[in-house]
Amino acid sequence: MSTLRGNCLMGQSGGPTAVINSSICGVIQEAVKHAEIERIYGARHGILGVLNEDLIDLRREDPEEVELLKCTPAAALGSIRHKLPEPEQDSSEYKRIFQVFDAHDIRYFLYAGGNDSMDTINKISAYAAKVGYDLRAIGIPKTVDNDLAGIDHCPGYGSVAKHIAAITLGVGLDMRSVHLTDPVVIMEVMGRNAGWMTASSALARREEGDAPNLIYVPEAPWNRARFLDDVKRSHAEYGWCFIAVSVGTKDESGEYLAAQKGEFATDAFGHVQLGGAGPFLENLVREELGLKTRYVRLGPAERVAMHFASLTDRDEAYRLGAFAVQSVIEGVTARMVSLERKSNDPYECELTLADLEVVANEEKLIPREWLNEAGNDVTQSFLDYARPLIQGEVPTPIQDGLPRYARLRGVPVGKKLGAWRRSS
Amino acid sequence: MSTLRGNCLMGQSGGPTAVINSSICGVIQEAVKHAEIERIYGARHGILGVLNEDLIDLRREDPEEVELLKCTPAAALGSIRHKLPEPEQDSSEYKRIFQVFDAHDIRYFLYAGGNDSMDTINKISAYAAKVGYDLRAIGIPKTVDNDLAGIDHCPGYGSVAKHIAAITLGVGLDMRSVHLTDPVVIMEVMGRNAGWMTASSALARREEGDAPNLIYVPEAPWNRARFLDDVKRSHAEYGWCFIAVSVGTKDESGEYLAAQKGEFATDAFGHVQLGGAGPFLENLVREELGLKTRYVRLGPAERVAMHFASLTDRDEAYRLGAFAVQSVIEGVTARMVSLERKSNDPYECELTLADLEVVANEEKLIPREWLNEAGNDVTQSFLDYARPLIQGEVPTPIQDGLPRYARLRGVPVGKKLGAWRRSS
């Protein structure tokens, strides 16, 4: 394999996680070790930063701040949602990207993200081959959703799972305390098609009756009568019911709970019904069972809890960043760095490389057999899979009572091209 | 002062906090040191447990589990919302309470809670004096709302403030990362009349532009036009806007935002409008400014985050529990143990005793001068007050990746009376 000298550019894309910055840190701290790489640049807001030639010089960051990226949530380089067009239909963005690459002698392109980001890497790799530009491009997986194919589990998931389980544990105790007046809690969790995050609430259970008592995910169709029976039974048996529900849970006709209105468009008091899967169930429980219900929706707060993130997850995110650099140096291109599980107990994962086509075009859902027959809980197989991913806590430096997160200086790289204007 | 020998009964009431169990732990660990106290009982679900003679023997708990109460959120004895009637109008509950006290030789009654709980202690003390029952009753303050009068700040508040500030810090970074597509975050925080919890989000700010950019609390009337200007200005200046809003924020006519419908009862897509102050503002921002908005509502999750609770808060809660025992042993009755601040820097609070009448009947709001003139932010005085309360982290034992919280055995005390039936 030939040696390729030049500069390295990295970017972040899609929704942030607690540990995507650890991957960036892994990239930077590994890249400085390799003489083939001269400069290490970051694209501000992912591929948009490439298009806009909006790059920062990561070698000019304070090494202590770079180290702090290991315990800083969100996307320090800025993120974006942007899908590249098919190059046959519109090649203008590709032309611009390669003008920028060429102007800055970018030979290594590392992109951290989910399916769409892997699609970006895939398209850019193919275009590079087509135009004969010597580029090694690699994807670094991240997503709280854990819906990436070609990988055992996705960096970012372990930390969100740990956070959701911790909140479930705490709110579950809170519910026990006040269940004589407030017996039902509905926790709505992100996830449009995959229920991995919602399912992780099950890790909080230690004893019979512990929260969550019911789990509804998009992988198992929801049924109204069965749901009301489920809640009634839990309330009768324990005196309470904690329900974890995915935003994207659907009924048997495939309609999102969040989209349902009908008789609950206004409640008995004439109040307008809340939207979302959680508020829909909240109204149903109140109207049909007469039980007082509290509603929790962490939303983006699910994925930023570095103050209780998983060390296992953090370390894997870091190692994947470093492994991405090692891989491109060794000549790998057009792949995603990945994890292959060797064993649950003791937990062991190996670093591997995955096919971008698979990652870009498939969506990994919870296997149906990891959900119980009634479709309101997970099975032991899920717990065995997920439990190792939440182990360990990330030591976070504290300043004045709050986490001290990294702040990058963001020294701009001098522009060599004119401003980009979308050709259309 | 005469020595009073007998048993000690304690209960918890109202909404739980991260540290109310620390007060219980302080009571138990102090009570065992005093020969005057024979047995230490807990009432299950507060005053309802007294009425039902539903008591547990706290001396029969494993001391290690009692120690773990110091880092266990929620109310381990169970809580309740129950307001005693005026004894002149209905004395049946008082008669029953004192039958139970007499049957179990309860001479020390300690009750942890908020305004209503202090009202309970007040009424029970007065009734004891009236019927000549030798009882020493004392209140232990707790509330996340921080709205108790007669005390500098309330145990429970420091931890919820720390949690809300940490979530604001994290979600703020998340918002910076994705602001090109999702520029606005609305975080709805509990608090009907007092904005202390919402205001604590301001502790997250380190630099100009940091979240939260706008803070709306019930103490300052909200104005629609000003609000839209505020959001527009923040978005223009920084590219984003993080809004922290209390559930109980009201407009200038005194109406809750949560109750407003009007033109936003359905949005442009015909979707039914969400209820609550957060969803109301979300719709307003989307409809009037066309900005994509994400919504966070921690709800009960605000108060259970022992995985990032304040050590200062935890230690004060513990000390107040122990001080309550010391006080009743020394002859104090019909008071609430309290905190008086001596200094902000270095932070110093002294243990004192407060008048129950004041605590039971007043509500402490944020002083208007601790909010800025525009009513959309706090001033330095608030930050100086709140910052010391979030210092330090509670070391939490971890089992299998999650906090290991206390589980009490709850050994029942043998009943000596028949079942209680409400006389009405």
Stretch among A90-104, A218-232, B220-234, B244-258 having the lowest mean pLDDT: B244-258
Q: Which residue has the higher pLDDT, A181 or A262?
A: A181
Instruction: For residue B86, count other CB atoms closer than 10 A to its CB.
Output: 9
Average pLDDT score over residue span A11-34: 97
Local confidence band at A263 (pLDDT 50, 70, 90 cut-offs): very low
Domain boundaries defined on chain A = 6-143+309-361+394-403, 157-303
Cβ–Cβ under 8 Å, residues B9 and B110: yes
pLDDT of amino acid B424: 52
Chain A residues 375-404 within an 8 A CB cutoff of chain B: 387, 390-393, 398, 400-403
Cβ–Cβ under 8 Å, residues A337 and A138: yes
Comparing alpha-carbon positions, the chain B residue that sits nearest to A266 is B272
> Judging by DSSP bridges, how do beta strands B398-399 and A136-141 pair with one another?
unpaired
Looking at chain A, the whole-number percentage of residues with pLDDT higher than 90 is 90
**Assigned fold of B157-303:** Rossmann fold (3.40.50)
Average pLDDT score over residue span A263-289: 68
Two tokens at B291? 């900005």
pLDDT of amino acid A273: 43
Instruction: Report helix, strand or coil for B408.
Output: coil
Is 90 exceeded by the pLDDT of residue A268?
Answer: no
Task: Flag if B203 and A300 touch (Cβ within 8 Å).
Answer: no
Distance CA B397, CA B172 (A): 29
- B360's enclosing H/E stretch is helix B356-361
Is 70 exceeded by the pLDDT of residue B310?
Answer: yes
Residues contacting residue B273 through CB under 8 Å, at least 6 positions apart: A272, A275, B261, B264, B265, B266, B267, B279, B280, B283
The mean pLDDT of chain A is 94
Over its C-alpha atoms, chain A yields an Rg (Å, rounded) of 23
Local confidence band at B275 (pLDDT 50, 70, 90 cut-offs): low
Q: Please give the distance of CA A176 from its chain centroid, rounded to a whole number.
A: 31
- Within this chain, domains B6-146+310-361+395-403 and B157-303 share the same CATH topology: yes
Instruction: Report helix, strand or coil for B188.
Output: strand
Two tokens at B398? 């971890």
Local confidence band at A316 (pLDDT 50, 70, 90 cut-offs): very high
pLDDT of amino acid A138: 98
pLDDT of amino acid B261: 54
Local confidence band at B423 (pLDDT 50, 70, 90 cut-offs): low
Q: Which CATH architecture has domain B6-146+310-361+395-403?
A: 3-Layer(aba) Sandwich (3.40)
Stretch among A137-146, A277-286, B131-140, B253-262 having the lowest mean pLDDT: B253-262
pLDDT of amino acid B272: 44
Question: What residues of B are in contact with residue A344 (Cβ under 8 Å)?
Answer: none
Task: Flag if A401 and B170 touch (Cβ within 8 Å).
Answer: no
Is 80 exceeded by the pLDDT of residue A267?
Answer: no
- B325's enclosing H/E stretch is helix B311-329
Counting beta carbons within 10 angstroms of the beta carbon of residue A340, is it exposed (0 to 12), middle (13 to 18) or buried (19 or more)?
A: middle
- Please provide the CATH number assigned to the domain covering A6-143+309-361+394-403: 3.40.50.450
pTM: 0.95
Average pLDDT score over residue span A355-382: 95
pLDDT of amino acid A272: 44
For residue A131, the distance in angstroms to the closest alpha carbon of chain B comes to 31
Two tokens at B268? 């442009």
Cβ–Cβ under 8 Å, residues A147 and A364: yes
Local confidence band at A276 (pLDDT 50, 70, 90 cut-offs): confident
pLDDT of amino acid B268: 42
Q: What are phi and psi of B191, to 5 degrees?
A: 130, 105
Cβ–Cβ under 8 Å, residues B234 and B214: yes
Average pLDDT score over residue span A181-189: 96
Q: Which residue has the higher pLDDT, B422 or B33?
A: B33
Instruction: Report helix, strand or coil for B339.
Output: strand
Question: What residues of A are in contact with residue B181 (Cβ under 8 Å)?
Answer: 80-81
Chain position carrying tokens 């993120």: A79
Strands (E), B166-210: 184-189
Task: Flag if B167 and A405 touch (Cβ within 8 Å).
Answer: no
For residue B71, give the DSSP letter: G
CB contact A35 to B (< 8 Å): no
Question: What residues of A are in contact with residue B392 (Cβ under 8 Å)?
Answer: 401
